[in-house]
Amino acid sequence: MADTDKRLASLLLDWYARNGRALPWRQKKSDPYAIWVSEIMLQQTRVEVVIPYFQRWMARFPTISALAEASQQDVLALWEGLGYYGRARNLHRAARIVMTEYGGQLAGDPASLRRLPGIGRYTSGAIASIAFGYDVPALDGNVRRVLARLFDVQEPLGSPSAEKQLSALAGDHLPSGRAGDYNQALMDLGAMVCTPRAPRCDVCPVENLCRARALGVQELRPVRPGRLPIPHYQVAAAVIQRNGKVLITRRPEHGLLGGLWEFPGGKLEPGESPETGLRREIMEELGVDIDVREPLGSYRHAYTHYRVTLQAFRCALVKGTPVPLQVDDLSWVRFAELADYPMGKLDRMIAERLQATR
Ligand code: SF4
């Protein structure tokens, strides 16, 4: 390792020892399962949001075997509100694989970790380095940004050339035997000092080694790829009641919000009215005709990659018995039981409104 590389690692490790964040999963350094759960929860999600979910999760599923034995409904219920539900389903599936095929022990090397559902290159690097001491990089969004600034990477993030450079940079500077702390130092520096906007270069431990800072271009790095417009979907949902119960359906396992429950309905076609679109969706999903009656409110939510405006309607069955044609399951439940069914944000808003106004 060149002297500059050694100096970079040593400055970062010193800074981390004094300033690293005291996060709940770091108090469980000897527990690879805790590191694994935290890394999955942290994908696409901010630390402050993750902490209470992590604490509830570890209280409810303290071991891999406890998670493997849980039902998917219990797993999704605990994950509700954290988003990207495929992460929870994969974690659950992976726990079952570890119990049945790996004797209940998480293997520590990155290649074995990557064979489990939901564990990709970054997550395997993070778990292997932090929990098992492997000298491997972990290149997340924070680390990408810090390295792109430190080494003034000029290609747009996500381009093959930038990714190649960043992977090489992340691996080249790893201090042998300290990769876990080094990776976490870069993550924390990105979260606390080298922030996306207005990096605090004046308090940065590696300011004197930073090429972007020397050139005054730190706020122009990393170079962002051209942004596509965020789609905005119009959706309609049906509240169908019968004998004091309401109809909910479970979304197909694979796909957006997979395995969660919702009020049946779906995306409107361009130019389609909510009433027409809702009747079409209910016929496709459940094979029944409905009468669309009074509106029950409009609900909005901005997901990371798209926005949704959902209009809910009270509806009545005209004829036929609902069958799950394009959904995984359906259930007639009492309003008071809706809280037991894991749901996405918008459907939970409808459920809460129904419970409040019944
Ligand atoms: Fe980031 Fe500034 Fe530190 Fe460079 S000097 S790594 S831009 S905070």
- Residue 201 beta carbon below 6 angstroms from any ligand 1 atom: yes
- Residue 185 beta carbon below 6 angstroms from any ligand 1 atom: no
Residues belonging to the chain:
358
In the predicted model, what is the mean pLDDT of the chain?
A: 93
- Residue 207 beta carbon below 6 angstroms from any ligand 1 atom: yes
pLDDT digits over 43-72, tens only? 989 999 999 999 999 999 999 999 999 999
| Predicted pLDDT at 230 | 86
Closest listed residue to residue 233, CA positions, set 307, 312, 344, 311: 307
Residues contacting 239, CB < 8 A, separation 6+: 246, 263, 296, 312, 313, 314, 315, 350, 354
CA 237 to chain centre: 25
Residue nearest to atom 2 of ligand 1 (CA): 201
Pocket test for ligand 1, best of 15, 218, 219, 221 (most atoms within 8 A of CB): 218
Contact at 8 Å (CB) between 119 and 107? no
Ligand 1 centre to CA of 198 (Å) is 10
- H or E stretch including 237? strand 232-242
Contact at 8 Å (CB) between 110 and 134? yes
Ligand 1 centre to CA of 352 (Å) is 45
In the set 39, 80, 262, 281, the catalytic residue is 39
DSSP 341: S
Ligand 1 centre to CA of 185 (Å) is 13
| Predicted pLDDT at 355 | 87
Closest listed residue to residue 65, CA positions, set 30, 99, 31: 99
Q: Extract the tokens encoding 34.
A: 């805790």
Ligand 1 centre to CA of 159 (Å) is 22
| Predicted pLDDT at 320 | 86
89 or 303, which is more confident: 89
| pLDDT exceeds 70 at position 1 | no
Q: Is 294 a catalytic residue?
A: no
- Residue 150 beta carbon below 6 angstroms from any ligand 1 atom: yes
CA 132 to chain centre: 24
The SS3 call for residue 132 is helix
pLDDT digits over 4-30, tens only? 668 999 999 999 999 999 999 988 667
| Predicted pLDDT at 44 | 87
Where does residue 320 fall: left (phi above 0), alpha (psi -120 to 50 degrees), or beta otherwise? Answer: left
> Relative to the CA of 145, which ligand 1 atom is closest?
1
Q: Extract the tokens encoding 200.
A: 């605090």
CA 37 to chain centre: 12
Give the span between the Cα atoms of 26 and 19, in whole angstroms: 13
The SS3 call for residue 139 is coil
Give the span between the Cα atoms of 133 and 177, in whole angstroms: 7
Contact at 8 Å (CB) between 98 and 267? no
Closest listed residue to residue 221, CA positions, set 152, 167, 166: 152
Report the range of poorest mean pLDDT among 125-134, 198-207, 251-260, 314-323: 251-260
pLDDT digits over 163-194, tens only? 999 999 999 889 999 999 999 999 999 999 99
